[in-house]
């Protein structure tokens, strides 16, 4: 973990100030920087493109915004926090009185010093987010106020990134994060950086079995666009990880996949137990992040999330207080360790099925039996190669995974994997 912390911290500080949304230059700049860590393919879906029941919206970009008082002083300034502007706000330039302005202002009801995060992607309007102190000052001054939102809409594109990491098997594991949130460290940015560093780790693995599809998308609309553009490949994926809110200071937890009996959930719990960590279990529900898209009826990917201070669960969620004093590179690295442990389990996990289940297989026919018979005796503990072959052929029913078989036999899973893959090459087992 420690070798990642300094590098993570540098990228965390570079990426935090960028104004991101579901489209726009901020997303392209974010993907460009992430491309320094892993070789991303950056792709664009033009505005107006139908994607299932949705249409890719116009591209939105913002340069500056402020509210200035009667003396010209900026009381609210986009350059101080890019959360001050409601995402996808229309351009504004004018002088407004208090009664006109206040209907466009948004405060956090419970955190007086926080700027809330608000968006209006699919309804044209404009708004300004501010602290309670700033609101009271504007109310006291009464106006007139200079109000400027220097934004624009154009027929542009939705931008996403992907990184395909091939393995011995063409079967893929999905890793997904969302890049659309502006300056909030735990919600979005922590997951984006962890995903990138995890992808680099996976690419470095020797003898990698599974293939990995790593995607960086704007939340909801980006995941929908990605599914529409890659429908055939996505429908072949069984399990995935939606990586978000991984850098807080609180307790670890995980959101289960839609099928609570799917092995991804038990593997995550094993990772927590291996690390000696208490954890919160969040059952799957229809709220949350892009697991809603990946687990929908058309795809049914079992997508789970390991988190630390999950969305909705911490007081700074969707506010300016979700900043670099709340999230640190060390905290992200601690969660990265858990994800690396999970990848190790996914890589080690196989479910084999005996292709010849009726009675014993004629081992010599498949060059799996010693040349001379009659001298073989079961060794203590059943650990000879022949014994392990016989155990695998007996237990591999297409339901038991290799971890459970290894635990039953009391040996490391890796000892069985090499034999199992050899039996696959011989045509007597298949990988389910």
Report d(CA 332, CA 56) in Å as an integer. Answer: 32
Which whole-number Å values give the CA distances from 263 to 133, 239, 341, in the listed order? Answer: 50, 9, 15
* DSSP class per residue in 147-180: EEEEEEEES-EEEEEEEEE--SSS-EEEEEEE--
211-217/172-178 β-pairing: parallel
What number of CA atoms fall less than 13 Å from residue 300's CA on the CB side?
6
Mean pLDDT by 10 residues, the chain (432 residues): 85 98 98 98 98 98 98 97 98 97 97 98 97 98 97 98 96 97 97 98 94 98 98 97 97 97 92 96 96 97 97 96 98 97 91 91 87 52 81 90 83 84 91 83
Contact present, 246 and 190 (Cβ < 8 Å): yes
Q: Structural domains in the chain?
A: 2-57+157-348 (3.40.630.10), 61-154 (3.50.30.90), 351-431 (1.10.10.10)
* Paired tokens of 51: 């994607």
In this predicted structure, what is the pLDDT of residue 375?
45
In this predicted structure, what is the pLDDT of residue 15?
98
Report d(CA 232, CA 106) in Å as an integer. Answer: 42
Q: Is 296 helix (H, G, I), strand (E, B) or coil?
A: coil
* Nearby residues of 196 by Cβ (< 8 Å), 6 or more positions away: 11, 34, 37, 38, 216
In this predicted structure, what is the pLDDT of residue 218?
98
Report d(CA 94, CA 88) in Å as an integer. Answer: 18
The pairs formed by 270-277 with CB atoms below 8 angstroms and a separation of 24 or more are 270/345, 271/306, 271/338, 271/341, 271/342, 271/345, 272/338, 274/341, 275/337, 275/338, 275/341, 277/252, 277/338
Report d(CA 221, CA 24) in Å as an integer. Answer: 14
Contact present, 340 and 201 (Cβ < 8 Å): yes
Report d(CA 12, CA 138) in Å as an integer. Answer: 33
In this predicted structure, what is the pLDDT of residue 369?
82
In this predicted structure, what is the pLDDT of residue 29?
98
Segment holding 249, helix H or strand E: none
Location of structure tokens 């992907």: 162
Segment holding 255, helix H or strand E: strand 252-255
In this predicted structure, what is the pLDDT of residue 44?
98
Report d(CA 13, CA 64) in Å as an integer. Answer: 21
* Paired tokens of 353: 């099925």
In this predicted structure, what is the pLDDT of residue 410?
84
Give per-residue burial for 97-131: e unless 16+ CB within 10 Å, then b. eeeebeebbebbeebeebbbbbbebeeeebbbbbb
Contact present, 131 and 35 (Cβ < 8 Å): no
* Paired tokens of 340: 């690396």
In this predicted structure, what is the pLDDT of residue 3?
73
φ, ψ at 262 (rounded to 5°): -65, 140
How far does Cα 422 stand from its chain's mean position? 34
In this predicted structure, what is the pLDDT of residue 376?
53
Report d(CA 166, CA 270) in Å as an integer. Answer: 26
74-77/211-217 β-pairing: unpaired
Contact present, 284 and 291 (Cβ < 8 Å): yes
Report d(CA 411, CA 371) in Å as an integer. Answer: 26
């Amino acid at each position: 973990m420690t070798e990642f912390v300094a590098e993570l911290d540098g990228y965390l500080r570079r990426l935090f100030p960028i104004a991101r949304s579901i489209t726009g230059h901020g997303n392209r700049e974010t993907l460009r920087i992430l491309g320094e860590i892993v070789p991303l393919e950056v792709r664009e879906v033009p505005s107006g493109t139908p994607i299932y029941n949705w249409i890719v919206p116009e591209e939105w970009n913002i340069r500056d915004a402020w509210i200035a008082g009667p003396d010209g002083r900026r009381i609210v300034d986009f350059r101080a926090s890019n959360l001050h502007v409601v995402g996808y706000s229309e351009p504004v330039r004018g002088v407004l009185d208090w009664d006109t302005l206040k209907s466009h202002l948004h405060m956090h009801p419970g955190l007086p010093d926080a700027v809330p995060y608000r968006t209006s992607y699919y309804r044209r309007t404009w708004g300004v987010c501010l602290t309670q102190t700033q609101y009271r000052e504007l109310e006291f001054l009464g106006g007139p106020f200079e109000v400027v939102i220097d934004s624009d809409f154009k027929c542009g594109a939705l931008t996403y990134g992907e990184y395909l990491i091939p393995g011995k098997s063409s079967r893929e594991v999905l890793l997904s994060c969302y890049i659309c949130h502006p300056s909030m460290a735990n919600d979005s940015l922590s997951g984006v950086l962890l995903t990138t560093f995890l992808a680099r780790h996976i690419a470095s693995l020797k003898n990698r079995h599974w293939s990995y599809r790593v995607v960086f998308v704007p939340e909801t609309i980006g995941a929908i666009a990605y599914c529409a553009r890659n429908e055939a490949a996505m429908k072949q994926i069984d399990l995935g990880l939606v990586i978000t809110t991984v850098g807080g200071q609180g307790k670890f937890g995980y959101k289960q996949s839609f099928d609570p009996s799917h092995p991804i959930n038990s593997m995550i719990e094993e990772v927590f137990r291996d690390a000696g960590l208490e954890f919160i279990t969040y059952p799957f529900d229809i709220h949350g992040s892009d697991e809603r898209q990946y687990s929908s009826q058309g795809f049914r990917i079992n997508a789970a999330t390991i988190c630390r201070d999950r969305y909705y669960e911490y007081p700074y969620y969707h506010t300016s207080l979700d900043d670099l004093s709340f999230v640190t590179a060390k905290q992200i690295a601690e969660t990265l360790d858990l994800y690396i442990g999970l990848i190790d389990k996914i890589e080690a996990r196989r479910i084999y099925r005996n292709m010849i289940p009726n009675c014993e297989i004629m081992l010599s026919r498949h060059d799996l039996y010693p040349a001379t018979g009659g001298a073989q005796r079961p060794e203590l503990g059943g650990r000879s190669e022949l014994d392990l072959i016989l155990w695998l052929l007996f237990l591999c029913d297409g339901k038991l995974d290799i971890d459970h078989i290894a635990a039953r036999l009391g040996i490391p899973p890796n000892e069985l994997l090499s034999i199992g893959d050899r039996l696959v090459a011989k045509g007597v087992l298949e990988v389910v």
